[in-house]
Amino acid sequence: MPWKLVTDAGEIDLWPFIDEFFTSLNGKRTTRMKMDERCGYALAADKNSEFHFKYIPDEYVLLEKQKGFGGSNVHACLDEALVWLSGRMVEIEIENGKQIKFAADKSEKVYGVYFIEGNACEVPEDAVKTVCKAGQHDRCIFLSAGSSGFLCQKFSGPTARMLLDRLAKRDPLRSRIGNCTILGRKERQKATTV
């Protein structure tokens, strides 16, 4: 399945580059790089790390602790980060055998929302039509209605993935991936532009 990236020059399938990077890092000591987890994901070869990178194509991508118990499912973490970055301008750096980094472009002005119910985010009334475009042909795929009002599902794990899959299958009722970001968890507050 392709990992589609839309650029000014057209669409690019990122998967061949990701597969090549995973292969180049296989077996090396690796660490997740420090960065704001809400705005990206990064891995880097690190000879001092207690984790080894393990990649078996079509099966799994892991960080495994060599002594004791522990690890991280890289595929699941990267998938969630890319869903959160969907619709955003993104900077991608890939150095085979060294590092991979996906980060939101900090110069892009985006609307920010807060978690309020599980992993759903409140959409303030003033943003429903102007940002999410409810009732319009370019409505954001992540907009939903709940008992407490409108919600953004972009940061809600499996629900967000399902909505992206529907869009890929050309769901006629949804046509746009919103470029919003998550600002954290708060008690029902207004979202802001960041």
Structural domain spans, the chain: 4-104, 111-193
Determine contact, residues 11/4, Cβ cutoff 8 Å.
yes
pLDDT tens-place string over residues 112-169: 999 986 788 999 999 999 999 998 988 999 999 877 789 999 999 899 999 998 888 8
Average pLDDT over residues 73-82: 90
More confident residue, 71 or 175: 71
**What percentage of the chain carries pLDDT values higher than 90?**
60
Kindly report the pTM of this predicted structure. Answer: 0.85
